[in-house]
Structure 1
Amino acid sequence: MKLAILGAGMIVKDFLTMVGAIPEIELKAIVGTTRSIENLQNLKENYGIEAMYTDFDHCLTDNSFDTVYVALPNHLHYAYAKKALEYGKNVICEKPFTLRLSELVELKEIAHANDLILIEAVTNQYLANYQAVKDALPKLGELKIIECNYSQYSSRYDAFKEGTILPAFDPKKGGGALMDINIYNIHFVVGLLGMPESVQYKANVERGIDTSGLLFLNYPNTKVVCIGAKDSASAIRSTIQGNQGSMIINGPTSIINQVELQVNKSEAQVIDQKLGEHRLYEEFWIFNQVIAAHDTKFAERRLEHSLKVMEVVELALEDAGIQLG
């Protein structure tokens, strides 16, 4: 994969510390704003990136790369992914894919029309430990209850309470607990059970944005609650309960560091099959394979999953009376 990176924030810096472990990924360009030019220059030099741009349109005329990694704030994902697709580039887009389901549907249509790969970068879907959870589900018997709690006090919440609205809490920029951290829980559950029969979102709303909330997903035989909070903190873990056993995932659903499986009161078994220490390694290793093989069938399956997640998000925000963008 010949890659152009769009953005220079925390996720990009984290990605760059890992990507050297996948030598097949060639770093062809990084794109940012004129305000971040010193930061861009440092990243270019420190990580051997071939070119630097502050104009995305100019960058897209560069034929040295075939894929754009969109790692910008949430509200910019749709517009920049669309432009990259229209220029004939494959797109890897950070979560949440878009702010609206209709925007993702449009991106999918453009990708199909141009025979391009379009895929969402959401860590948990590609982790070996997540596959281990899927494989172990039948051992639990009939699934009854799933609870996912990803709650951590945001360093930006105090400023928000005092009236400084940063992107993490700005409804115009796709902020809020659901879109930031609870969305990992949604991906986790929808990847296991598919689209729920109904969605309810009971949120604590301040200045038009959810600072925390409980998302209820109803399945025929399974009841699910996904908890996401940026205004309070708790032990971060998920539990899956069936009539024959249970699983505990300690830590956030974005990482799935370790899985504890207990069946029929037997001694608990610890499952840890992760392939790399860095949380982004497994997904980008797979992305490289998918783009190298131009595996549109795999990308299509992943898009169908992302569309379900966006539908859940849209139903949840509507239920809570929250308008983004």
Structure 2
Amino acid sequence: MKLALLGTGMIVKEVLPVLQEIDGIDLVAILSTPRSLATAEELARQYGIEQASSDYEAILSNPAVDTVYVALPNHLHYAYAKEALLAGKHVICEKPFTLRAEELEDLVTLAAERQLFLLEAITNQYLPNFFWLKERLPELGDLKIVTCNYSQYSSRYDAFKQGEIAPAFDPKQGGGALRDLNIYNIHLVVGLFGSPVSVNYLANMEKGVDTSGMLIMDYQAFKVVCIGSKDSSAVISSTIQGNKGSLTVHGPTNSLPEVSIRLNGQAEERVTLNRQPHRMADEFMTFRDILAQDNRVLAQAMLDHSRAVMRVLDLATGQQ
């Protein structure tokens, strides 16, 4: 994989040390805004990236680049991913894939027409602890209740209340608790159980954006509540309850740091099978392998998962 990274924000700075250590991923280019070009040039020096530019066309025309990683603010995902596909590049896009389902479907069509890979960087779908949860689900018997809570008081919330609107709280830029934090809960639930029968989003709205909210998903036989909050905090955990026991995620749904099972009348069994030092390593190693092995089956399965999540998001945002 010959990778171009779009953006110089926190997620890019966090993932660069991870990518540098993965065999088979070559860091070729990094894109910034004109005002952040000095930051891009410093990152390029630090991580041995050949090209740092604020000119997207210059990066897309670079024959050494075969894959683009879109790590820009949410509202830019669609446009920049589309340009990359039109230029013949594979695309890895940060969550949420796009702001609307129709945008994702447009990207899906373009990628299929050009036989390009289109993948969403969503950490929890690639972590060993996720697969352990999926494997142990049948032991719970009949599922009844699922609760996920990813709540953390945002460092930008106080400024937001005073009128300083950062992208994470800007509805025009796809901000809000649903797309920032609750998205991980949705990915976990849809990854384990597929698409729900119905969706209902109860949001706390301030200045046109959901600062927190409860997403209710009905699977007929069992019910799901996903809580995401940037205006309050709580113990971050998720629980899957059945009539024979329960599974618990101890910590955020973006990293699944520790998981446990407690069957009726038995002691709790806690494990962590995650072995990589960073939550993003497993997903990028998988992306590398998908491209290297031309694994269309796995890529399609992951894309179908992302489309199902986007349909949930569409339903939820339509209720704000």
TM-score normalized by structure 2? 0.99
Match of 2:6 in 1: 6
Match of 2:184 in 1: 184
Aligned length, in residue pairs: 320
Deviations 1:244-290 (A, max 9, x none): 11111111100000101111221111121113011101000100000
CA distance in 2, matches of 1:91, 1:164: 33
Contact 1:8 1:39 in 2 (8 A): yes
In structure 1, give the amino acid aligned to 2:36.
S
CA distance in 2, matches of 1:143, 1:42: 51
In structure 1, give the amino acid aligned to 2:182.
N
Please give the residue correspondences for 1:189-208 in structure 2 after superposition, counting only pairs within 5 Å. Answer: 189-208=189-208
CA distance in 1, matches of 2:243, 2:21: 42
Contact 2:20 2:27 in 1 (8 A): no
Percent identical: 53
Match of 1:225 in 2: 225
1:20 deviates by 2.3
CA distance in 2, matches of 1:277, 1:245: 30
Deviations 1:33-79 (A, max 9, x none): 11111111110011111111110011101000210000000000000
Contact 2:32 2:54 in 1 (8 A): yes
CA distance in 2, matches of 1:217, 1:205: 20
Query: Are 1:126 and 2:130 counterparts?
Result: no
Match of 2:297 in 1: 297
Moved >4 Å (runs of 4+) = none
Query: Are 1:110 and 2:110 counterparts?
Result: yes
What's the secondary structure of 2:81's corresponding residue?
helix
CA distance in 2, matches of 1:107, 1:163: 35
CA distance in 2, matches of 1:210, 1:220: 27
CA distance in 2, matches of 1:215, 1:99: 17
Match of 2:216 in 1: 216
Query: Are 1:67 and 2:67 counterparts?
Result: yes
1:8 deviates by 0.7
Contact 2:33 2:54 in 1 (8 A): yes
TM-score normalized by structure 1? 0.97
CA distance in 2, matches of 1:15, 1:198: 35
CA distance in 1, matches of 2:165, 2:265: 49
Match of 2:307 in 1: 307
Could you list the runs of 5+ residues in structure 2 that have no partner in the other structure?
A: none
Match of 2:19 in 1: 19
Please give the residue correspondences for 1:27-106 in structure 2 after superposition, counting only pairs within 5 Å. Answer: 27-106=27-106
CA distance in 2, matches of 1:38, 1:20: 20
Match of 2:169 in 1: 169
Contact 1:4 1:67 in 2 (8 A): yes
What's the secondary structure of 2:313's corresponding residue?
helix
1:157 deviates by 0.8
What's the secondary structure of 1:319's corresponding residue?
coil
In structure 2, give the amino acid aligned to 1:165.
I
CA distance in 2, matches of 1:17, 1:28: 14
Contact 2:148 2:225 in 1 (8 A): yes
Match of 1:260 in 2: 260
Contact 1:275 1:282 in 2 (8 A): no
What's the secondary structure of 1:160's corresponding residue?
helix
Deviations 1:107-140 (A, max 9, x none): 0000000000000000000001000000010011
Contact 1:240 1:246 in 2 (8 A): yes
CA distance in 2, matches of 1:265, 1:63: 61
